[in-house]
Amino acid sequence: MILYPLQDLCVAVQDSNDSAVFVNGRFCKDPKLANADDFYASGFNVSGMPTPTNLGFSVNALNVNRMPGLNTLGISMARADLEPFGLISPHIHPRATELILVLEGTIYVGFVVPDTRNPFKSRLFDKILHPGDAFVIPQSMVHIQYNMGTTNATHLSSF
């Protein structure tokens, strides 16, 4: 997907007092008022909040709420920390491809390409990833991440 923003910058703001344009569900800050802090975030050196599923993982997400300059740019990022044998259960991203980069641990990752005429012929693309390995998951494919190891595992995902 190629994005062509209506303007170079559309830094998100919470209300319309400082805004001139409404784009992508957010009011945009006047571009003359944008600054470097709108394009900066910290805190990805630590785990995120544990998920309520008890599947043994936490996510520290970077999105427009933490970095207003991401608005309309079509990209975000997350740090996922998996406990030993932790599972990010099957899920999809209907509007985004996901790129995974393993920082530590051993992570099994896979996605399924369905065969709509014969589900038994659907294809599984899977790999065991180690630190420094990357894997891409095409848009809208059902996929999982699983920590195969006995130590914690961490990966970064961009969407």
pLDDT for 121 equals 95
pLDDT for 24 equals 61
pLDDT for 124 equals 97
pLDDT for 93 equals 92
pLDDT for 48 equals 80
pLDDT < 70 positions in the chain? 1-7, 14-25, 50-53
Residue 134, C-beta contacts closer than 8 angstroms, at least 6 positions apart:
99, 100, 101, 102
pLDDT for 157 equals 97
pLDDT for 72 equals 84
CATH 3.30.70.100 corresponds to the domain 46-158: no
- Ligand-binding site membership of 143 (annotated): yes
- Ligand-binding site membership of 130 (annotated): no
pLDDT for 54 equals 77
Residue 39 has a CB neighbour count (10 Å cut-off) of: 14
pLDDT for 125 equals 98
Spell out the domain ranges in the chain: 46-158
- Ligand-binding site membership of 98 (annotated): yes
Torsion angle of alpha carbons 124, 103, 150, 147, nearest 10°?
-30
Cβ distance 65 to 13 under 8 Å? no
pLDDT for 2 equals 54
Cβ distance 128 to 146 under 8 Å? no
- Ligand-binding site membership of 155 (annotated): no
